[in-house]
């Protein structure tokens, strides 16, 4: 009998077994693809989460938080999913950003409470070429040729036993070979970007930068543990007041994410009206559906799912912490920047117009193990002659599913295997998902138009979803992923959610197959997670852009002994 173990219990046991981990500080370090951006471009980030007590990668937290601060406050926040202490993310710089410098404050929820001191994050520069808006007190306009003013530019020095070799150009690409001659393995990010002259101009009047392992600060311990994935906390209201005391007793709430995924959870509402979900990371920008039910029987035995009409309202509860960045240097600009910024702005706008997600590379990510290793039974309805009624489709084609009347209501029951060679119709109730959303009133699915449904997937075994057991799972996926326009219950709330990002890279290997894509990117290669053994070699073909110039190759990371690595090389691509 397979069970999905309730995440709260998983967390408790993890805390008991890893007290040493809990006492340790988690340090989050960030490298980026470059140091200077335009609004509209992407800041590509590689994340390193280190257990300070051991100097090794932390195995505890599964989410890192990256805040982008200017002198006017926090400008943006992204969440990065981590596996074994490594992860990657991307901030597409909004056009709401003003011209100025930003610093990146990075932390995990476990050690990310109020700042104990200033966070010394990496500084990046943003120019908004489509707006004259400048960060207040963060930009100084100077005359062309004005003498260098403090703080002086202090570039990061090469460190680590890393070498970079560049081969001959050919077939629209350049072979690059990175060698690790050190005595330890290493994990790094690798970037190749255009040197367009802007950094040389502002570098004359530049600012301090910090090497990877200097990018840190101290926070208060929060006690918020995200071992399996992001914790989502909500509060339930009725008639404008939080649900409390006896009114909250026996109230449960489904949470699911639309989009044909396996992100479904159930939590009880506590005496103060809070419901907490320990997820396995719900990735990307998603709509979360919260379905409130007012007694155990309705939740465990499906119930009508029509909603009680009690006027429940659900709100997400976000942590509120004060994070203080170190002094952000003033950006000094002059008329010298006009021409190089115009050229780069043109390239940025062309790139934005033609950018496609299919050009990015999806990096390895932790899977959602809701269904375990069970091989599903898949029915692609396009392979069959359609009947006008869903009940007929199920009866004629879906041999592992039955429609039965139970307690006066039509239910979907999964045919599943109790012993080898022996099948039986489940006596309990199946969990029915429509585009990833639980539908407790099975008659809504049974009576929907089958022409809207692309696929029916059966998981024929018993599952424990938090508090409740289901004899099998049946998924109905529509063509449009919109639940076929089904009307939701009265107590269903829909909230937007920005979860941990899908881990993406930009290696350029998908551009040659897209002949209509004009490659004017500033960053032409980005691999955020490169793991190398001792004496290891990493090779790649760097795609050439549709323009000529000088490019910088940057390797940055941490070796197996906990030391920082930085190496750069400048090459000319013709």
Q: What values do phi and psi take at 74, rounded to 5?
A: -75, 125
**360 and 383 together in one domain:** no
CB of 480 closer than 8 Å to CB of 140: no
Residue 95 pLDDT: 94
Residue 511 pLDDT: 79
Summarize pLDDT for 336-380 with one digit per residue, the tens.
999 999 999 999 998 888 877 778 999 988 766 666 667 889 999
* Reported confidence tier of residue 519, pLDDT bands at 50, 70, 90: confident
Radius of gyration of the chain (CA): 27
Among 488, 523, 538, where does a domain finish? Answer: 488
**94 and 204 together in one domain:** yes
Q: Is residue 242 part of a domain?
A: no
Helices (H) and strands (E) in the chain, counts: 7, 36
Which alpha helices (H) appear in 365-441, and where do they start and end?
390-397
**451 and 527 together in one domain:** no
**120 and 210 together in one domain:** yes
Residue 29 pLDDT: 97
**173 and 94 together in one domain:** yes
Q: Is residue 260 part of a domain?
A: no
Among 436, 457, 488, where does a domain finish? Answer: 488
Q: Is residue 104 part of a domain?
A: yes
Phi-psi region of 260 (alpha: psi -120 to 50; beta: other; left: phi over 0): left
What average pLDDT does range 62-67 have in this prediction?
A: 97
Statement: residue 465 has pLDDT above 90? no
Among 433, 460, 488, where does a domain finish? Answer: 488
Q: Is residue 306 part of a domain?
A: no
* Reported confidence tier of residue 17, pLDDT bands at 50, 70, 90: very low
**547 and 423 together in one domain:** no
CB of 26 closer than 8 Å to CB of 49: yes
Average pLDDT, the chain: 86
Structural domain harbouring 462 = 377-488
**175 and 78 together in one domain:** yes
Q: Which CATH number does the domain housing residue 439 bear?
A: 2.170.130
Percent of the chain scoring above 90 in pLDDT: 59
Q: Which two tokens stand for residue 299?
A: 């939740």
How many domains does the chain contain in total?
2
Summarize pLDDT for 233-272 with one digit per residue, the tens.
999 999 889 999 999 988 889 999 987 777 889 999 999 9
Q: Is residue 399 part of a domain?
A: yes
Summarize pLDDT for 269-328 with one digit per residue, the tens.
999 999 999 998 899 999 999 998 876 554 444 444 444 556 899 999 988 899 999 999
Residue 204 pLDDT: 62
Q: Which two tokens stand for residue 169?
A: 């150009």
**508 and 404 together in one domain:** no
Instruction: In whole angstroms, give the CA distance from residue 560 to residue 182.
Output: 10
Summarize pLDDT for 537-551 with one digit per residue, the tens.
999 999 999 899 999
Q: Is residue 274 part of a domain?
A: no
* Reported confidence tier of residue 408, pLDDT bands at 50, 70, 90: confident
**32 and 119 together in one domain:** yes
**155 and 211 together in one domain:** yes
Q: Is residue 421 part of a domain?
A: yes
**How many other β-carbons are positioned within 10 Å of the β-carbon of residue 335?**
10
Q: Is residue 158 part of a domain?
A: yes
Residue 259 pLDDT: 79
Three-state DSSP string of 55-88: CEECCCCCEEEEEEEECCEEEEEEEEEEECCEEE
**356 and 467 together in one domain:** no
**408 and 532 together in one domain:** no
Instruction: In whole angstroms, give the CA distance from residue 274 to residue 433.
Output: 25
Q: What values do phi and psi take at 27, rounded to 5?
A: -105, 130
Provide the β-strand partners of residue 432. 474
The 10 Å CB-count burial string (b at 16+, else e) for 278-293 is bbbbbbeebebbbbbb
């Amino acid at each position: 009998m397979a069970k999905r173990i309730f995440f709260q219990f998983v967390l408790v046991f993890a805390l008991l077994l890893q007290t040493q981990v809990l006492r340790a500080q988690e340090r989050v370090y960030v490298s980026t693809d470059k140091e200077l951006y335009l609004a509209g471009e992407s800041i590509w980030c590689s994340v390193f989460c280190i257990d300070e007590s051991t100097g090794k990668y932390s195995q505890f937290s599964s989410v890192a938080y990256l805040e982008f601060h200017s002198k006017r406050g926090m400008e943006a926040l992204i969440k990065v999913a981590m596996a074994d202490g490594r992860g990657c993310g991307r901030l597409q710089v909004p056009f709401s950003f003003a011209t100025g410098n930003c610093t990146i404050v990075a932390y995990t929820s476990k050690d990310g409470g109020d700042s104990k001191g200033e966070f010394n994050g990496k500084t990046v520069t943003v120019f908004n070429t489509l707006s004259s808006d400048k960060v207040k007190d963060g930009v100084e306009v100077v005359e062309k040729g004005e003498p260098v003013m403090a703080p002086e530019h202090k570039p990061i020095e090469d460190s680590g036993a890393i070498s970079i070799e560049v081969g001959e150009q050919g077939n629209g690409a350049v072979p690059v070979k990175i060698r690790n001659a050190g005595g330890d393995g290493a994990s790094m990010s690798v970037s190749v970007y255009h040197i367009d002259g802007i950094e040389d101009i502002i570098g004359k009047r530049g600012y301090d930068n910090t090497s990877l392992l200097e990018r840190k600060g101290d926070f208060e311990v929060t006690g918020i543990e995200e071992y399996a994935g992001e914790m989502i906390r909500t509060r339930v209201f009725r008639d404008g007041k939080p649900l409390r005391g006896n009114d909250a007793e026996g109230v449960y709430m489904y949470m699911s994410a639309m989009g044909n995924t396996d992100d479904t959870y159930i939590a009880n509402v506590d005496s103060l009206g809070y419901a907490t979900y320990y997820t396995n990371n719900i990735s990307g920008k998603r709509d979360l559906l919260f379905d409130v039910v007012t007694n155990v029987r309705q939740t465990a035995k499906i119930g009508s799912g029509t909603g009680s009409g009690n006027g429940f309202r659900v709100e997400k509860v976000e942590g509120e912490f004060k994070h203080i960045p170190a002094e952000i240097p003033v950006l000094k600009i002059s008329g010298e920047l006009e021409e190089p910024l115009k050229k780069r702005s043109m390239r940025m706008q062309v790139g934005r117009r033609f950018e496609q997600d299919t050009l990015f590379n999806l990096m390895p990510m932790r899977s959602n193990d809701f269904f375990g290793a069970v091989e599903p039974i898949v029915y692609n309805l396009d392979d069959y002659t359609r009947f006008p009624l869903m009940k007929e489709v199920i009866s004629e084609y879906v041999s592992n599913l039955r429609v039965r009347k139970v307690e006066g209501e039509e239910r979907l029951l999964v045919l599943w295997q109790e012993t080898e060679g022996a099948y039986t119709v489940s006596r309990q109730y199946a969990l029915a998902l429509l585009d990833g959303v639980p539908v407790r009133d099975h008659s809504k699915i049974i009576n929907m138009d089958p022409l809207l449904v692309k696929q029916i997937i059966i998981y024929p075994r018993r599952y424990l979803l938090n508090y409740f057991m289901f004899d099998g799972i049946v998924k109905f996926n529509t063509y449009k992923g919109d639940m076929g326009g089904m009307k939701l219950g009265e107590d269903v709330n829909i909230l937007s959610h920005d979860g941990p990002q899908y881990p993406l890279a930009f290696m350029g290997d998908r551009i040659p197959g897209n002949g209509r894509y004009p490659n004017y990117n500033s960053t032409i290669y980005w691999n955020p997670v490169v793991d190398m053994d001792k004496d290891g070699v990493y090779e790649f073909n760097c795609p050439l852009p549709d323009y000529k110039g000088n490019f910088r190759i940057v390797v940055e990371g941490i070796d197996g002994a906990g030391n920082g690595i930085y190496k750069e090389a400048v090459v000319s691509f013709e």
